[in-house]
Structure 1
Amino acid sequence: MNLTGAQALIKSLEMERTEVVFGLPGGCILPAYDPLLDSTIRHILVRHEQGAGHMAEGYAHVTGRPGVAMVTSGPAATNLVTPLCDAYMDSVPLVAITGQVARSAIGTDAFQECDTVGITRSVTKHNELVMDPEELPLIVRQAFHLATTGRPGPVLIDVPKDVLTARIDWWWPTDDELLASLPGYRPTVKGHPRMVREAARLIAAAERPVIYAGGGILKARAAEALAELAELTGIPVVTTLMARGAFPDGHPLNLGMPGMHGNYTAITAMQEADLLIALGARFDDRVTGRVDGFAPDARIIHVDIDPAELGKVRRPDVPIVGDCRQVIGEVVRAVRALLDGGEVTLPDRTPWRSRISGWQERYPLHYDPPVEGDALKPQFVMEALRDSAPEGTILASGVGQHQMWASQYWRFTEPYTWVNSGGLGTMGFSVPAAIGAKVGRPDRTVWAVDGDGCFQMTAQELVTASSERIPIKVAILNNAYLGMVRQWQEMFYDERYSEVYLSPDLPDYVKWAEAMGCVALRVEDPDEVQPAIDKANAVDDRPVVIDFRTDAREKVFPMVPAGAANGDVVVHPSQATATRKVVQ
């Protein structure tokens, strides 16, 4: 079968069972858009290339399959850099296809030429400039394999225009040909047996253990394995921002989210632990606080598919390279063998459970209830959204205060229902990511919680949602400020509010949303919250935007100040008059 490079590219995507491509055409990628007309692949036309990348991320978050974004050369490719970096930081499987000027023009500063491979080398797991049209099928197959195996991540294919117009004899590489083409790529998935046995012995001996579950649990589809380990050992679990939903919030062993804005119990349990079992977590600075003060008495078991993560921040006592799901299963079997063989008995952890219960009772999440005349409390809005959400609702968030309130106050009962930007912290992530999530799971309700600052960055993608009939729902927690920046300026810069005020009425979010084809509502009074949410949940044929006018004075607590140790966690002023040290 003789095909053009463009036809081979689209056929290769079909062979990889691609359902949808998010993209925007332009000169150099234009040949690839013609065979799309005859393809089974759905194309979603975005309004900005950054939106294509974030939609592909949202799709990948909820399906586990790689999201695909396709854009042209030059500025289109550079607009894709932010979502590529976001996906790289959060280990999201993504395949990006960018157009490039013809091979003969590369290096001449041709119109809309840029060194896409050079620009994206540090924010992709792998990238490649296609110089031989015959290699297109193999390069596409490599891209999907690399994006989804080992530590997932984004892969970029840069395709010159004349490669797309050249003709080739169609072929599709076999599994053996694929593996032979990647001789240096063999991710370790099984744990080292000696390390697994040593991990089991530490788990069986620890008096104050905590399971530190990171986003790698979700990437490895290891939620069931995590539950099995926790229930076998009775060890409490903290779920990082990227792992929310990996272990049900209603489970008695779930302590919630740790970190800079985690809850007091999760932060303090990690700090006081004598053993941390880190599973698919990378000891991020938002979790550890000041590293030399983090969990000073804890021995560390660290399981990760990426050997570069072991010892990068904290030296583990038992390092295990491998796939989280497989390694957890191996550890479970090793612990069972120790217990069933009578070699060990679990220590009495009653005092540890008692201390944890004491922290939970003394320092629950808290906000002051509103008094007459107060603006809406954002936490109250989150609780109302949570309590009204249909079963299985997917929640996407932007970045800032609203992201922390969303993670704190939502109840996650199943995995793959939380879509957020963790490592890069990308403002503007929420709306396009929610669109991608809804495309991936059209059977689910998808809410995007956004701040007014975030919303203004990518709101134009609601035009995409309206025109493509993708009925997401958006809750803007509009406090007229860059809220997290304001919180820091208030707490650490003597209330010197420099360039954080945004205005509650400019733009008019209701008129803007209506102009983009959405149902739009404004809510200023607590009594209006529930009716507005009910109306939004009832609309299923177009996007809905609710402008919640919230109190700018509200801060996110608890909080570990930047540069401080986790023992210096600041709780809500009603729970303390000053920074508290760890309560013994």
Structure 2
Amino acid sequence: MSGDRARLTVAQALVRFLAVQHVERDGVRTPFFAGCLGIFGHGNVAGLGEALYASRHDFPYIPGRNEQALAHIACGYARQRDRLGAYAVTTSVGPGATNLVTGAALATINRLPLLLLPGDTFATRAPHPVLQGLEAEHDGTASVNDALRPVSRYFDRIARPEQIVPAALEAMRVLTDPAQTGAVTLALPQDVQAEVVEVDAAFLEPRTWLVQRQPPAPEGLARAVQLIAGARRPLIVAGGGVIYSRACEALRALVTATGIPVGETHAGRGALPSDHVGALGAIGATGTAAANRLAREADLVIGIGTRWSDFTTASKTAFQDAGVRFVNVNVCAFDAAKHSGLQLVGDARVTLEALAAALGAHTADPEWTARAEAERAAWGQEVARVVGVGDGPDAPLTQAAVIGAVNDAAGATGVVVQAAGSLPGDLHKLWVARDPAGKGYHVEYGYSCMGYELPGAIGVKLAAPEREVYALVGDGSYLMSPGELATAVALRARIVVVLIQNHGYASIGALSRSVGGAGFGTHHRVPEGGDATAPVLDDAAGDALAAPAPALPVDLAANVASLGVPVTRAGSLGELRAALAAARGADGPVAIHVEVDRFHTVGGYESWWDVPVAAVSDRPEVVAARARYERERERQRAYLRPA
């Protein structure tokens, strides 16, 4: 340090900068970065590796096993922190960097802050082509890191040392923007990382990024109040923005005052506790009968913090009223403009509070409110029935019963983590939300990424060490990313892994049967006669294998144990409940292995998802499925009526 300037390597300057970044919302100021996750290679060990070692007391470094999984850990952490905290992830150039693409897509789609610091090829090109470097005949500037461009909210390649200052500031601008956050990539050529840069001392001073709560425009608010007051059958759809804004209390107050019922997206599940009279639970393709029935009749839909994904609208078949209109509350103008809705661009909590004040004593039609309460009560009975199947000494375990047992073990403060397979749909419908802050349900369904569950649970635990964290993972998803169990062991992260064995891709198996595909390619079983090319199919009824096909001789419980995680094999619901109770006293990760009935599925509850069926086939099952598809597709509509 000389005068008001510091002489550092580029990597040192960046790490020191990141270590002193803070965010502030509602007067509460906290560090933004918890540290850096990574795997070292030749592209980052000498630059970032040295800098991270030098700053290890101020900016902790956690080594991992797979770069994609490290990005998932960071995403789990950011979501649990309501996007007010993040991790950086560093990798070498080459396969380590391209392993980040999936994690970057997950972060950007789910609007979660994630800083990626992949190494890059030499800026000087002196040793060109370098190990793991890409040669493009048409572009001398290309490297494998360019694959991260379309899945990053902001991308920069630091070709000169002095570029680190504006790039770092731009990165923080995007990461802390509620509307634009996602993956940010700063590609760091390995030679530039180690070069000297002189930076102004102010660059290294603590900096606070104010996360402001934007109020809606007064004229938009007035129009929304007019629409709500004139609606006969209004319905709220609560998305992830409610939880990220910490607006659950404001939502509850509005619903209590007005009687407007609420359906929830995956990201918004739990925004309203299930015991509230206005809580209809999940909505859309994986929704409850209660929410989907009211959605079909709603004449005004108030979306709060939702990006209106395909699942939420049941492929645009959920809302069938001829004159249905939308009011969209969102910090992102892009999402607020969907379905020709009235755009209320603003923070969810501020907007909900403003709506409640402006509506005053207005209430929804009592008949509509009573209808919602009746449907909600009936749905509660259905959940009890479905979850209770398999609750007998000799009954085979069902996935629904497993969900019920974990739900009970989690209580009001536990967190369930899930992402892919048939579990997200079942959880969305069956989970009883008890956490008033909406933090108990953590299902990554923006990208529905297989392999997210274990690292995502680690990230949640790092963000909320006081909570019990349950990772529900199917055998297919487990096999995608088991290695991060070793990271959980190293961190002594007390997560409970419930590994559900159904011998294949049960979700896609059911989808295959629904389109006449007989479960082709979805079984983890030994083909007939040992021929690896022979298909393993379900029979025409879809409730058993067409021919006896033994399970693959793979012992996933033993695999878990080999990674240093104690595992219990639960063969009944009673054994599962006992194992879940015992897991609460563990001092590190534990696992419970359960085998469930592959063919016992939870119903669709008057919803639909657009999965095109082959228009030409010699299989009668496919022909019949195509006819059903054509009938369902007739219900699709574009929501064009302006609000």
| Pairs within 5 Å for 1:467-482 | 467-482=490-505
Cα distance, 1:518 vs structure 2 = 0.4
Q: Does 1:528 align with 2:551?
A: no
User: Cα distance, 1:273 vs. partner?
Assistant: 0.8
**Distance in 1, Cα, partners of 2:320 & 2:87:** 37
Describe the shift of the 1:37–1:72 C-alpha distance in structure 2 as closer, same or farther (beyond 3 A).
Answer: same
**Residues 21-30 or 141-150, more deviating:** 141-150
Q: Distance in 1 between matches of 2:557 and 2:217?
A: 57
1:216 aligned counterpart, secondary structure: helix
Task: Please say if 1:543 is aligned against 2:589.
Answer: yes
1:269 to 272, 294, 298: 294
Change (3 A) 1:54 1:307: same
Task: Judge conservation of contact 1:420–1:429 (CA < 8 Å) in 2.
Answer: no
Structure 2 counterpart of 1:567 = none
- Judge conservation of contact 2:106–2:446 (CA < 8 Å) in 1: yes
- 1:485-500 alignment runs, 5 A limit: 485-493=508-516, 496-500=518-522
Q: Deviations over 1:393-434 (max 9, x none)?
A: 121113111222233333322323332221211111100100
Task: Indicate yes or no: 2:55 matched with 1:26.
Answer: no
CA distance in 1, matches of 2:491, 2:10: 28
* Identity between Structure 1 and Structure 2 (%): 26
Distance 1:493 1:170, change over 3 A: same
Output the CA distance in 1 between the equivalents of 2:99 and 2:153. Answer: 18
**Equivalent in the alignment of 2:15:** 10
Return the offset for 1:215.
Answer: 1.2
Q: Does 1:408 align with 2:436?
A: no
Deviation at 1:79, TM superposition (A): 0.4
Partner Cα distance (1:256, 1:107) in 2: 58
Determine the C-alpha separation between the residues in 2 that align with 1:248 and 1:293: 23
- Alpha carbons of structure 1 residues 357 and 523: separation in structure 2 relative to 1, 3 Å: same
Select which of 335, 352, 355 maps to 1:309: 335
Return the letter of the residue paired with 2:376: Q
1:510 aligns with 2:561: no
Following the alignment from structure 1 to structure 2, what is the Cα–Cα distance between the partners of residues 294 and 331?
A: 23
Q: Match for residue 211 of structure 1?
A: 236
Aligned partners of 1:447, 1:172: CA distance in 2, in Å? 44
Aligned partners of 2:334 and 2:577: how far apart in 1? 48
Structure 2 counterpart SS, 1:225: helix
The alpha-carbon deviation at position 230 of structure 1 amounts to 1.9
Counterparts of 1:155-234 in structure 2 under 5 Å? 155-171=184-200, 189-234=214-259
Query: For residue 153 of structure 1, what is the aligned residue in structure 2?
Result: 182
268 and 292 in structure 1: CA distance in 2 versus 1, 3 angstrom threshold? closer
Structure 1 residue 320 corresponds to structure 2 residue 341: no
Q: Deviations over 1:325-351 (max 9, x none)?
A: 232233233223xx5xxxxx545x221
2:60 — aligned with what?
42
Q: For residues 443 and 137 of structure 1, do their structure 2 counterparts lie closer, same or farther at Cα, with a shift above 3 Å needed? A: farther
Q: How many residues align?
A: 552
Amino acid at match of 1:29: N
Q: For 1:91 and 1:81, locate their aligned partners in 2 and report how far apart those are by CA, in whole Å.
A: 15
Q: Which residue of 1 aligns with 2:641?
A: none
**Structure 2 CA distance for partners of 1:87 and 1:193, relative to 1, 3 Å:** same
Write the mapping of 1:230-309 to structure 2, written as runs, cut at 5 A. 230-291=255-316, 294-296=319-321, 297-309=323-335
1:91 corresponds to: 111
Structure having the higher helix fraction is 1
Give 1:50-61 correspondences, 5 Å limit.
50-61=68-79
Q: Assess if the C-alpha contact under 8 Å between 2:225 and 2:359 holds in 1.
A: yes
| 1:125 shift after superposition | 1.1
Tell me, in whole angstroms, the C-alpha distance in 2 between the residues paired with 1:476 and 1:448: 8
Distance in 2 separating the partners of 1:294 and 1:203: 17
Cα distance in structure 2, aligned partners of 1:362 and 1:223 = 24
Query: What are the ranges of 5 or more consecutive residues in structure 2 without an aligned counterpart?
Result: 2-6, 22-30, 135-142, 526-550, 612-630, 636-643
Q: CA deviation at 1:148?
A: 2.0
Please give the alpha-carbon distance, in whole angstroms, between the structure 2 residues aligned to 1:418 and 1:142: 32
Q: Return the alpha-carbon distance in structure 2 between the equivalents of residues 335 and 508 of structure 1.
A: 59
Distance in 1 (CA, whole Å) between partners of 2:603 and 2:324 is 25
How far apart, CA to CA, are the structure 2 residues paired with 1:444 and 1:172?
A: 40
| Residues 62 and 417 in structure 1, CA contact (< 8 A), matched pair in contact too | no
Taking the aligned partners of 1:390 and 1:533, their CA distance within structure 2 comes to 12
SS in structure 2 opposite 1:256?
A: strand
Counterparts of 2:65 and 2:396, CA distance in 1 = 34
1:382 paired with 2:403, answer yes
Say which of 148, 153, 157 aligns to 1:120: 148
Q: CA deviation at 1:32?
A: 0.6
Q: 1:556 aligns with which of 597, 602, 605?
A: 602
Q: Please, which moves more after superposition, 96-105 or 429-438?
A: 96-105
Distance 1:117 1:294, change over 3 A: farther
- Please say which of residues 297-306 and 502-511 is displaced more in the overlay: 502-511
1:457 aligns to what SS in structure 2?
Answer: coil
Q: By how many angstroms is 1:301 displaced?
A: 0.6
CA contact (8 A) 2:97 2:145 kept: no
**SS of the residue aligned with 2:424?**
helix
Gapped regions of structure 1 (runs ≥ 5): 340-344, 565-578
Supply the AA of the counterpart residue of 1:555. T
Render the CA deviation track for 1:307-364: whole Å, top value 9, x for unaligned: 222344x111x2222222232233233223xx5xxxxx545x2211232234335453
Partner of 1:133: 161
- In the superposition, the TM-score normalised over structure 1's length comes to 0.88
Offset of residue 246 of structure 1: 2.0
Q: Distance in 2 between matches of 1:308 and 1:515?
A: 47
Give the letter aligned to residue 343 of structure 2.
P
Task: For residue 19 of structure 1, give the secondary structure of its aligned residue in structure 2.
Answer: strand
CA deviation vs aligned residue, 1:244-286 (integer Å, no higher than 9, x gap): 1222222221110101111111112122111111111122111
Counterpart Cα distance in 1 of 2:15 and 2:373: 56
Question: Pick from 428, 431, 438: which aligns with 2:451?
Answer: 428
Shift in CA distance, 457/15, structure 1 to aligned 2, threshold 3 Å? same
Q: CA offset at residue 61 of structure 1?
A: 1.0
Change (3 A) 1:419 1:252: same
> SS at 1:77's partner residue?
helix
Partner of 2:368: 352
Q: Distance in 2 between matches of 1:34 and 1:77?
A: 19
| Residue identity opposite 1:157 in structure 2 | L
Quote the offset at 1:48 in angstroms: 0.6
Letter in 2 for 1:44: I
Q: Is the 8 A contact 1:29 1:99 kept in 2?
A: yes
The verdict on how the C-alpha distance between 1:220 and 1:109 changes in structure 2, with shifts beyond 3 A counting, is farther
- Report deviation, 1:375: 2.1
**Is the 2:330–2:348 Cα contact (8 Å) retained in structure 1?**
yes
Judge conservation of contact 2:286–2:428 (CA < 8 Å) in 1.
no
CA distance in structure 1 between the aligned counterparts of 2:374 and 2:277, rounded to whole angstroms: 14
Give the secondary-structure state (helix, strand or coil) at the position aligned to 1:291.
coil
User: What amino acid is aligned across from residue 260 of structure 2 in structure 1?
Assistant: I
- Alpha-carbon distance in 2 for matches of 1:154, 1:417: 24
Q: 1:375 to 1:446 in 2, by over 3 A?
A: same
* TM-aligned CA deviation for residue 118 of structure 1: 2.8
CA distance in 1, matches of 2:349, 2:124: 47
